[in-house]
Amino acid sequence: MKTTVSVIIPTLDEREHITAALDLLQERRRAGHEVIVVDGGSDDGTCEVASGKADRILNSPRGRAIQMNAGAREAHGGILLFLHADTLVPDVSFRVFLEEFPSSGRVWGRFDVRLSGSHRMLRVVENMMNIRSRLSGIATGDHGIFVRRETFEKVGGYPEIPLMEDVAISRRLKRQSRPFFPRGHVVTSSRRWEENGIRKTILLMWRLRLAYALGADPADLARSYHP
């Protein structure tokens, strides 16, 4: 029996980035997989741009975790793949993932990530992200987290917190199995590092992760991340 994938993309004012992400998924749609865009109240025309390139466009209260859970409730696929709107999945990576993951014996996983920019420090950043994730078993949303539907439901979905929802669900999923790492990769926009400064962004992210690990309120961390 064919395993189908539901790709769930939360959006908020992502008109400039969503088209490229959706264009790469059209071949997968033609193969019987589905794409669900869950919008949190965009006013830049994101939904209009996504129209015709997604199987469904849902409206949801704002909040990435809330939006992803809303998409999962409407999904039909046996595997859920959660993508950021500025994350691209090359078709070859999708095909390798489909070949490897269903028979892996694991219930969740993530892709290696590459950053879109050309600055040499970004190569260091992406390698650090991938190595840290492999060692810790914790994935971030930039990696493209995928999970079997029954497992997602079993762990209660994403904790609906304003930041670190990816770290939180990784902890839940690790209790079910170690993550699976397919040979493919995704390409995530490096705009966050380029706009705010690479070193400054690295330090901010490490500070937020450490604070969360020590028990800080995600709402307070969100205010630091989105001042």
To the nearest 10°, the Cα dihedral for 72, 221, 18, 31? -30
Helix residue spans in 1-139 (DSSP H):
15-23, 26-30, 46-50, 64-74, 91-100, 120-136
Q: Which tens digits make up the pLDDT trace of 41-91?
A: 999 999 999 999 999 999 999 999 999 999 999 999 999 999 999 999 999
Show the domains of the chain with their CATH numbers: 5-225 (3.90.550.10)
Q: Are 153 and 98 in contact (CB under 8 A)?
A: no
Average pLDDT, the chain: 94
The answer to whether the predicted template modeling score (pTM) of the entire model surpasses 0.75 is yes
**pLDDT (0 to 100) of residue 150:** 97
Binned at pLDDT 50, 70 and 90, residue 95 comes out as very high
What is the rounded average pLDDT of the residues 19-45? 96
Q: Which tens digits make up the pLDDT trace of 164-219?
A: 999 999 999 999 999 999 999 999 999 989 988 999 988 888 888 888 888 888 88
Q: Which tens digits make up the pLDDT trace of 107-137?
A: 999 999 999 999 999 999 999 999 999 999 9
Pick from 128, 130, 113, 124: nearest CA to 189: 113
Cα(74)–Cα(9) distance, rounded to whole angstroms? 13
**pLDDT (0 to 100) of residue 204:** 85
